[in-house]
């Protein structure tokens, strides 16, 4: 049985202005702070939360809402910023420890070439917030053995087709892909795999949370049924932000546009 989870990152601010969240909550990459239905942590100058694996759409929506609410309760009168990229000045980061400027903790991979993605440039005065999806249910202690790694890559390509291209319709900020979020970005995990292409923009709308779950379910089911996404057309659409492509003129595209614009 496959499960679906997530570990989005969120920027914090006051009056719409970015504020580093490096000291706002307990928990870090090594030791996340447990909360009901998940955990929270500091991630560089942003915050991050993860939910426990969900077994249904309703469970997924509830856990995202529950953990986000608990995280919001920990940051006092600060607000969640809805943007998925921020630029900061020297004044914005006075007192921020050097370790919080570091980007990433381990490599991720390109599902089309199976090679490691380039390390982002941490010297840029920009940081981004991902909205990664976890697909569980095919556990392995040896995540780089060919069977597990290739299954993870295959699911990442399916996610590009069923989820990733549609994220272009609700996320108009293309700057993030300068650092992270190229098509087919994934990590093999002991629980299964992590799809790393999308930003966090979907977590702020219950309709989009529902859509992401349903489309992830479609991606998994299509893969289980034998569909293999090997062509690079979805990769090209995502990496070039081609929102006018004919493959984005579907009923799913219309659903997203209806959610966004009514």
Q: What's the DSSP call for residue 81?
A: E
Domain boundaries, the chain: 3-86+103-261
* The predicted structure's pLDDT at residue 178: 78
Rounded mean pLDDT, 104-128: 84
- Report phi then psi at 164, rounded to 5: -55, -45
The crossing angle, in degrees rounded to 10, of helices 206-224 and 251-261 is: 170
Find out whether 106 and 32 touch, Cβ atoms under 8 Å. Answer: no
Higher-pLDDT residue of 175 and 185 is 185
Residue of 65, 67, 12 whose CA lies nearest to 39: 67
| % of the chain at pLDDT higher than 70 | 97
pLDDT at 93 over 80: no
Residue of 161, 159, 199 whose CA lies nearest to 179: 199
Report domain 3-86+103-261's class: alpha beta
Place of tokens 């969120």: 10
pLDDT at 249 over 90: yes
CA angle 244/247/204 to nearest 5° reads: 75
Label residue 125 by pLDDT band (50, 70, 90).
confident
Find out whether 116 and 184 touch, Cβ atoms under 8 Å. Answer: no
Find out whether 195 and 132 touch, Cβ atoms under 8 Å. Answer: yes
- Return left, alpha or beta for 234; rule: phi > 0 is left, psi -120 to 50 is alpha, else beta: alpha
140-146: which pairs have CB atoms within 8 A and are 24 or more residues apart? 140/188, 140/190, 141/190, 143/188, 143/189, 143/190, 144/188
* The predicted structure's pLDDT at residue 214: 98
Label residue 221 by pLDDT band (50, 70, 90).
very high
CA 187, chain centre distance (Å): 12
* Three-state DSSP class for residue 87: strand
Label residue 166 by pLDDT band (50, 70, 90).
very high
Best-predicted range by mean pLDDT (68-77, 87-96, 124-133):
68-77
Give the C-alpha separation, 17 to 222, whole Å: 42
The residues with which 10 forms a beta bridge, in sequence order, are 47
Burial class (CB in 10 A: 0-12, 13-18, 19+), 77: exposed
Lookup: tokens for 193: 């795999």
* The predicted structure's pLDDT at residue 123: 65
Radius of gyration of the chain (CA): 18
This prediction's pTM: 0.94
* The predicted structure's pLDDT at residue 104: 60
């Amino acid at each position: 049985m496959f499960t679906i989870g997530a570990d989005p990152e969120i920027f914090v601010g006051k009056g719409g202005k970015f504020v580093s969240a490096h000291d706002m909550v307990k928990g870090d990459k090594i030791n996340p702070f447990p909360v009901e239905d998940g955990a929270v942590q500091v991630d560089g100058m942003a915050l991050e939360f993860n939910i426990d694996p969900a077994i249904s759409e309703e469970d997924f929506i509830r856990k995202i809402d529950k953990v986000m609410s608990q995280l919001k309760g920990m940051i006092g009168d600060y607000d969640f910023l809805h943007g998925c990229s921020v630029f900061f000045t020297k004044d914005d980061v006075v007192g921020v420890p050097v370790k919080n400027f570091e980007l990433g903790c381990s490599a991720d991979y390109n599902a089309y070439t199976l090679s490691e993605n380039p390390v982002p440039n941490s010297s840029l005065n920009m940081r981004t917030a991902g909205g990664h999806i976890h697909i569980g249910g095919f556990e392995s202690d040896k995540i780089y053995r060919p069977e597990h790694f290739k299954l993870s890559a295959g699911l990442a390509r399916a996610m590009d087709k069923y989820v990733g291209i549609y994220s272009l319709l609700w996320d108009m900020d293309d700057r993030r892909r300068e650092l992270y979020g190229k098509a087919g970005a994934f990590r093999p995990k002991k629980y299964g795999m992590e799809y790393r292409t999308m930003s966090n923009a979907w977590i702020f709308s219950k309709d989009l949370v529902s859509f992401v779950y349903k489309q992830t379910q479609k991606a998994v089911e299509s893969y289980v049924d034998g569909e293999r996404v090997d062509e690079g057309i979805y990769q090209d659409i995502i990496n070039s932000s081609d929102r006018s492509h004919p493959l984005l003129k579907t009923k799913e595209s219309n659903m997203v546009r209806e959610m966004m614009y009514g």
